[in-house]
Amino acid sequence: MNDEVLTILKRTHAIISDSHFVGTSGKHFDTYINKDALYPHPEETSRMGELFAKKNEHLEIDVVAAPALGGIILSTWTAYHLTKLKQKEILGVYTEKDAEKNQVFTRGYDKLVKDKNVLIIEDLTQTGGSVKKVVESVKGVGGKVTGVCVMVNKDPHNITSETIGAPFSALAELEVISYSEDDCPLCKNNVPINTTVGHGKKYLEAKAK
């Protein structure tokens, strides 16, 4: 499964290396997985949802939840394939960021999660911060987290069931070493920050202020 996931991402030009990126966490790194390059391809995205479904079909699942924006697409496709595998309707919902950057259920989705078995999925994890907030939100509205699964775990040594606070797995692993701005060798070597993908543009704009 690891090889197929990475093959799909390479085929859709979602894996970009040998550049200088800034992530949402503010960390710097040289390899970026641009999941937005995957989503325009329905067949490939559907297959990714099928891989999520097959990986987790042994779990008790009523609802698939994921953080917006990319999680909207993945939760729907995963729920679709789980529905076929389990021969019962599995719902796909998502959380959104609030003013405090927490991941919260809006649009009445909290009612769909309450008292249900929930599989939480995410496209990528570098620090695990976003998915942990979804775990908290599911528990906060009365849902039961039966599993957490990400498409690619970029820090398999530090992102585990223990750090996430729920049973955790990944479809694939691609270790990407990240650095703080002060320790970043790319910064020290004056490698330009990529402003096309990632949060490099916002980072530079904020730094300019």
Domain boundaries, the chain: 2-178
pLDDT in tens, the chain (209 residues): 789 999 999 999 999 998 999 988 889 999 999 999 999 999 999 999 999 999 999 999 999 999 998 899 999 999 999 999 999 999 999 999 999 989 999 999 999 999 999 999 999 887 788 899 999 999 999 999 999 999 999 999 999 999 999 999 999 999 989 899 999 999 999 999 999 998 999 999 998 88
pLDDT the model gives residue 193: 96
User: 84 Cβ partners below 8 Å, 6+ apart?
Assistant: 53
SS3 track for 13-64: CCEEEEEEEECCCCCEEEEEECHHHCCCCHHHHHHHHHHHHHHHCCCCCCEE
Q: What is the pLDDT of residues 75-119, one digit of tens each?
A: 999 999 999 999 999 999 999 999 998 999 999 999 999 999 999
Specify the CATH number of the domain 2-178. 3.40.50.2020
pLDDT the model gives residue 85: 98
Here the tokens at position 193 are: 């920050």
pLDDT the model gives residue 77: 98
Task: Give the up-direction half-sphere exposure of residue 89: CA atoms within 13 A in the CB hemisphere.
Answer: 4
The candidate with the shortest Cα–Cα distance to 122, out of 86, 193, 71, 85, is: 71
Q: What is the pTM of this model?
A: 0.90
pLDDT the model gives residue 70: 85
The candidate with the shortest Cα–Cα distance to 166, out of 98, 117, 206, is: 117
